[in-house]
Structure 1
């Protein structure tokens, strides 16, 4: 995995980060040895390189690489470990607010219940938050989003699980529809989305990565407060940079786009980081954020992605600060906690950085 960008070391926030897709390669190799699962490489460095190369195709092949991740994550100890390590990795990367997501239904083959899966992950996150600090000494806050696989029939169970567990766990903040989009719109899971919404669990939906704006519109119709990816909204942007009808509706509702540029390039949703629509959507007024999606599969960290995208897109320091603020403001976690992080950690650091950076205009 690439190392974080060394300068400037500024506090960051992330909203779209899959827990299993960010597992450490050395951890996967150890866990694979325990269950005698054959891996495609024998060293952490070679395994990390294999994941990046294997994921560099299309969305279906990208998702298929999880056959060398998911089998190792079927016990309480394994789930707790990767959750704990994920918090430590985020903190080391100067992330101070994160929302991690995972699909509980993918971790049942060794006999764990859905509740046991969630408990193990939440225990790992809690332990990580107790132990982890950023290089500047700040704690990291990690909240959790439960994913349902849109190609499977369990979305109502996962939504009900999220509602039930949120009653006792304020760190469980969201429900997501994930997985291959085509042929599986949000409408197919309308009941699950309604269960989450009526139960006080915020909703995000993967949409508009391998499909058009109509899938984003469908997600908005069914209560999505954020859109995972949403790259296809660039298709309806007018020549003068005005959002089209779906983008305008997302803007009216204040719906945030959880963009993941490197991942989008890997799955074919964008040709390159420079060609990615993030800056154009940002300058059209849409709330956009920069996310890693799956750190291991993309060979990135939160900060390396943030800085690579900023350089490739010609983002000004002011735009970078705005994107970071958008992530915190669009978070599903406790508003008071998020605003405290924003006003006592993120804004002071970025304001000091901006004071020393020349005022520039974006492309």
Structure 2
């Protein structure tokens, strides 16, 4: 009998497996139909398509185009329809529902409050609307037999000057649904060190933060995020591969920064489909996650922007299973890595691992062994 350790999971097993998501953008995961509804309700007339299927395809093609202008335009459309309390509540609730339906049991979803003020909302009203939406989505998920917990990450934009203000906002709501802080936006020309006051403030408050680093700009961005800013996690961090040499004989040498990241167990919020769109890898089979997994970095699997990449956590794992013949054991390894790296208290992380994640994978493995045992018995009979 083939061991489950060496057998790739089916699509159904991947979907039902408990998954943990650390890097997902709220404004990058809307349902196309919701965008159309909200646009009609708000009088926004700039959408490129008016049918849900066609609009979803437009978002994916724009993100795949290789044009930064077209890629950024996609977020202009989603943010444009997320300017009222009702819209933010709806988008957040549907986000939690969609993730739960995909088998995600814990998620940290990030968004930039400063991008949702055009209709007169305050920063506080934005945060409260999103938090209420997440709670509503969790409730609906329970009604449908799914379990999920969603925490918010408040993001500041690298090119703006409100990082300290957003960091203070994240700290103010840290016991009301917000679990941490992030900065996002173009890395080149906007180093994280521009926002040292925000990171120093968060460290004084013993609060958690991740930094988008090592997605496009490379090793200097990673070094600054860790050594100057003190990030708990790296948003993407995929360019750490640039500090790893693989010789012709297969031997591997880690540079000082890569060795530090591995030794310190710095979590990498890897987003395979998104990384392909931004040119970090030419194919899933060539994505650095394969080597990083073999070298036991604290690698995690994430979606980044589900709408723009046309993806989900299940799809990300399906593609990785196809590329690397990963098994349920590998999926569990990535999932436990993510849960260990979450921005909630240790005892709560441990409870999720021991009470939800490990039992969920054990059940899937037992199902397969039972089916194989039945097949064997029929063959013998």
2:23 equivalent in structure 1? 16
Q: 2:170, 2:178 within 8 Å by CA — same for their partners in 1?
A: yes
**Of the candidates 351, 354, 357, which is equivalent to residue 362 of structure 2?**
351
2:263 equivalent in structure 1? 252
2:238 equivalent in structure 1? 231
1:148 equivalent in structure 2? 156
Matched, 1:299 2:310: yes
Q: 1: CA distance between counterparts of 2:100 and 2:81? A: 24
Per-residue CA distance 1:247-282 (angstroms, 9 max, x = gap): 211122221000001001111121111111001012
Matched, 1:338 2:346: no
Q: 1:52, 1:296 within 8 Å by CA — same for their partners in 2?
A: yes
Per-residue CA distance 1:44-63 (angstroms, 9 max, x = gap): 11110000000112555423
Describe the SS at the equivalent of 1:133.
helix
Q: 2:152, 2:178 within 8 Å by CA — same for their partners in 1?
A: yes
Q: 2: CA distance between counterparts of 1:93 and 1:33? A: 28
**Of the candidates 86, 98, 111, which is equivalent to residue 102 of structure 1?**
111
Change (3 A) 1:302 1:88: same
1:189 equivalent in structure 2? 195
Describe the SS at the equivalent of 1:86.
helix
**Of the candidates 274, 279, 286, which is equivalent to residue 263 of structure 1?**
274
1:285 equivalent in structure 2? 296
Matched, 1:175 2:181: yes
TM-score by length of 1: 0.92
Per-residue CA distance 1:183-240 (angstroms, 9 max, x = gap): 1111111111111222222110001111111110110011111101111111111222
How far residue 336 of structure 1 moved from its aligned partner, in angstroms, is 2.0
Matched, 1:215 2:194: no
Change (3 A) 1:114 1:297: same
What residue ranges of structure 1 are gaps of 5+ in the alignment?
358-363
2:379 equivalent in structure 1? none
How far residue 5 of structure 1 moved from its aligned partner, in angstroms, is 4.2
Q: 2: CA distance between counterparts of 1:314 and 1:134? A: 35
Q: 2: CA distance between counterparts of 1:208 and 1:71? A: 28
Q: 2: CA distance between counterparts of 1:310 and 1:63? A: 30
How far residue 288 of structure 1 moved from its aligned partner, in angstroms, is 0.5
Larger radius of gyration: 2
Q: 2: CA distance between counterparts of 1:28 and 1:138? A: 25
